[in-house]
Amino acid sequence: MKFERMLAIVMLLLQRKQITAKELAETFEVSVRTIYRDIDAISAAGIPVVTVSGTGGGIGIMEQYKMEKGIFTADDISTMLMGLGIVHNALSGKDITKVRAKVKSFVSEEFADEVASKTDQVMFDLSSWMRGKDSNKVLDAVKEAMEQNRCISFSYLGRRGKERVSGMEPHRLVFKNSHWYLQGYVRKKEDFRLFKLGRMCQVQKELNSFPRKTLPHPFSDFTHEMSRKTFQIKLLVDQSAVDRMLDYCTFDDMTDLENGKYLVKFHFIDDDYGYGILLSFGNKLTCVEPDFVRRELQRRLEEMLEQYSR
């Protein structure tokens, strides 16, 4: 830990003209006395550290020693801050806030405006349009259990219906396609399983802890199964619904028929989720082929009409 801190101090001093011992102590969360001990050790290692006492003084490295004014460029710092911005937006937490503050401290005075400008060019907001303020309660509870290596129990509503899962080792949080997933080891099944956080509730930490395990890829089996089931269908989509259709495909999959309609080559899976996507477009979408998908859409629509006519 001491070596890592000393290395970070050197990197910081290479970026800044000078910085006070108090600022260094606050950045690395140690005492001012510890900082001065680190500075003595850095000097003993042959790095020419200079200290200036009094108002406007601080700690720095001789300008002649610096090579091209530091280790990180403005682009490097901007990229790191944007990456940390994504993580902070998704997970929040004091630890990430501290890391961002430390990275910002590496910005030299001459690059400060450039870094701020580059960082402001990209903004990440992973919050939901629809869900309320309490939607992160499950995420926070799972994250806390992961940090403490504690097993959890929770209620889960999935394809198998509602179930109570206990003795689950939370190993990895995965963010994919606007949803959070938890990859955990279920002791009763002696296997890994993936849970969608939006379907979890009543998360409780258990007393028993667990050792870290080597994790398989969270979606490898699912991706293989999806690829096996996916096939192409043709859709006729109204121009007014093209923007929504682009949530599921690209412009390369579309042909403008120049009559207010688009012909779309759509990658489809023959299940409730797939038909749910098509039906969500209402009368703005028509399946052209294959026939069995057209017939199934018609059956589902008739079933819905019958339900409303009761």
Segment (H or E) for 294: helix 291-309
Segment (H or E) for 40: helix 32-44
pTM over 0.85: no
| Domain co-membership, 159 together with 199 | yes
Last residue of a domain, one of 172, 188, 216: 216
Last residue of a domain, one of 19, 45, 65: 65
Average pLDDT taken over every residue of the chain: 82
The domain tally of the chain equals 4
Write out pLDDT tens, residues 166-185: 999 999 988 887 788 999 99
| 221, part of any domain | no
Structure tokens of 121? 């060019």
| Domain co-membership, 234 together with 297 | yes
| Domain co-membership, 246 together with 210 | no
What residues make up the domain containing 108? 74-120
SS3 assignment, position 56: coil
| Domain co-membership, 114 together with 95 | yes
| 127, part of any domain | no
| 162, part of any domain | yes
Instruction: Return the pLDDT at 109.
Output: 64
| Domain co-membership, 79 together with 16 | no
Neighbours of 119 (CB within 10 A): 20
| 125, part of any domain | no
| Domain co-membership, 141 together with 212 | yes
| 223, part of any domain | no
| Domain co-membership, 235 together with 305 | yes
| 224, part of any domain | no
User: Predicted confidence band at 159 (pLDDT cuts at 50, 70, 90)?
Assistant: confident
User: Domain containing 23 — which CATH number?
Assistant: 1.10.10.10
| 128, part of any domain | no
For 90, phi then psi, to 5°, come to -80, -40
Decide if pLDDT at 232 tops 90. yes
| Domain co-membership, 235 together with 283 | yes
Helix axes 2-15, 21-28, angle to 10 degrees: 130
Write out pLDDT tens, residues 95-107: 556 666 666 665 6
Residue predicted with more confidence, 194 or 126: 194
| Domain co-membership, 211 together with 243 | no
For residue 1, which amino acid is it? M
Neighbours of 182 (CB within 10 A): 27
Write out pLDDT tens, residues 244-300: 999 888 889 999 999 999 999 999 999 898 999 999 999 999 999 999 999 999 999
> What is the residue whose two structure tokens read 């509503």?
157
How far apart (Å, rounded) are the C-alpha atoms in residues 58 and 206? 49
For 91, phi then psi, to 5°, come to -115, -20
Write out pLDDT tens, residues 28-69: 888 888 888 888 888 887 788 888 887 778 888 877 665 444
Beta bridge pairs of residue 259: none
Instruction: Return the pLDDT at 67.
Output: 45
